[in-house]
Structure formats: C-alpha cells, structure tokens
Amino acid sequence: MNKLESRYVRVARLAYALTQRTLPRYSHPKSPHRYTQRQLAACVLVMFYCNRSYRDFEEWLAATDQVRNVLGLQTIPDHSTLSRMFKRIGIVMLQALMRRLLNALQPREAFIAGDSTGYRTTHASAYFQTHTGRRFRDWFKGAYAVGTQSQFIVAACQAHGGSATDVRFFKPLHRRAAGYGTQHWMFLGDAGFDCRAVTKRDLIPPIRRNGKLVAPERQARADLIAQARLDGLYGQRWKAETVHSVIKRLFGDTIRSRSLALQSREPIMKGLIYNLHR
C-alpha cells in the first residue's frame, strides 16, 4: 500500500529542486556555511506557501521532520535568518525561479488569460475597517497571465496602487507570456486592458467612449468578442479569476512585509508558489 505524501512535503521537494538549479550554493566564500542559500530560499518558499510568519514557520518546521529531511536540514534556521534570506530574494531572482519552473513544465497554450487582483497591506479585519470608516488608500496589484489549458501562471508582474485599469500590465504580460504560447496563440482579457498596443489577435473588449465605437478596427474587435462569447471561447478568461481565488484562499489576500521594496516582491512570490502548488 502506497503511503500518501503530504502536499507540504511535495512542495518542499519541488521548491528545493528549483532553488538547487537556480541559485548558487553560498552567497560568499567566507559565509558561515551552516545553511546553503538553496536550503534557505526553499524554506522561504514553503513559508509563504504555508502562509505563516517567520516565527510561526520556525515552530512549524521544528514539528515537521519530513520537510526537514527533504530540505536536508540538520538544524532549524532561526526566524531572523529566514528574514534576511527573503531580503536577498529580489524580483529578478523570483522571475528567474518562475522561468526555470516553467521551462521544466513546458506549457504550450493556445489561449492565455490575463487579469489582475488587489492585495491589502493591512491585516485589519473588514469588520474593523468598516466601523472605523477608513477607506483603502494603499494596496498592491498582482497581474497574472494564466494558460487556460494547464492553468499555470506563465507571466506575473505587480504595481503599487495607481490606476484601477490594467493597461500598464498589458505589454509586460503579453511579452512574457508569448514564450509559452503556440504559434497563433491569443490573449484573453477584460476591457481594463484596452489600449493602443492591442492587436487583432487579442480578445479584449474595446471601451465604448460616449457609448459608441467610432474606429472601424474597434468595431471589428467588438464583433469578434461578441462571436467569441457565443462560441464559449471568451468564457475561458474566467480561469484567471479562478487562479486569483486559489491564491487568496490558500496564501492570503494581504501583503505581510512593511517596507515597500519587500512588499513589491510578494505578488510575484504568490504566483510562484501557486505554480508549485499546481
């Protein structure tokens, strides 16, 4: 009878294999060499996957010998050590980890759906904020391009506050997702992505300014969207919303860090650990 493997053990194994292929063993030749960068980075990934604080994860790691064995840990890293490791994992490194994982998975998508979601920067409950009368004035947005067949996140980017539309995310998502699309792949998005960079092969509804469409190419795109709705093709865009729901339900809908530099990394981190979970 096969023994059921815990999802935490499976994610820890995948995270450690990923960091081993991406990161150098040590940050400096004269570092203490008590833990490798690969072990600590994998610990940080598992910590975000478990949605725990640094201190809570230290206690959790002490109680999970299977995860420690998978990560090759003889002793338990201190919470301050994990905090310093997360500070070394920049956005460039997170994107490199994402690309390495996707290159191993090799998704090929005919349709890629893009959308963004907001993350709160406070852990205060909605009940408390409602009764205090305060409005949300600070948030982070994570934008993700999701393959409709595999439901992997093939591209991720983030921004701090700003406009409610997703125009600023269209070009980076489109460019990064292109490497995982088939020859004639199509990008699916809502009207928030409508901009001049949209091509004929992008299924993005044009915004009707003053209630009408003037340009012939915008009217042609509206007709294409209407046909795609009837065919059930445009409905595949909702898989991006499904991914948002999974991320917030499993990994939280808030940003835990305090500094702006660290906060900007967390939407990308959530996308990475979602792919590990997937």
What's the CA gap between 142 and 71, in Å, rounded?
A: 29
70, 89, 108 — which closes off a domain? 89
Residues 83 and 99 in one domain: no
Pull the structure tokens for residue 23.
């990161």
Together in a domain, 30 and 162 = no
Report, as an integer, the average pLDDT of 236-255.
Answer: 92
Segments forming the whole domain that contains residue 233 = 93-277
Please report whether residue 230 resides in a domain: yes
User: What's the confidence (pLDDT) of residue 17?
Assistant: 96
Query: Rounded CA gap, 79 and 95, in Å?
Result: 24
Q: Above 50 in pLDDT, residue 1?
A: no
Which of 104, 112, 119, 178 is closest to 149 using CA atoms? 112
Q: Are residues 169 and 40 in the same domain?
A: no
- Quick one: pLDDT at residue 257? 87
Q: Are residues 81 and 107 in the same domain?
A: no
Task: Name the more confident of 210 and 239.
Answer: 239
Q: How sure is the predictor about 12, in pLDDT bands with cuts at 50, 70 and 90?
A: very high
247 has pLDDT over 90: yes
Residue with tokens 């995948």: 14
- Per-residue pLDDT band for 163 (boundaries 50, 70, 90) equals low
Number of domains composing the chain:
2
Residue 144 reports pLDDT greater than 80: yes
**Assigned domain for 268 exists:** yes
Q: Please check whether residues 62 and 187 belong to one and the same domain.
A: no
Phi and psi at 145, nearest 5°, equal: -105, 120
Whether 2 maps to a domain, the answer reads no
- Say if residue 102 is in the same domain as residue 211: yes
User: pTM here?
Assistant: 0.90
Read off the amino acid at residue 8. Answer: Y
Domain limit, last residue, from 59, 89, 119 = 89
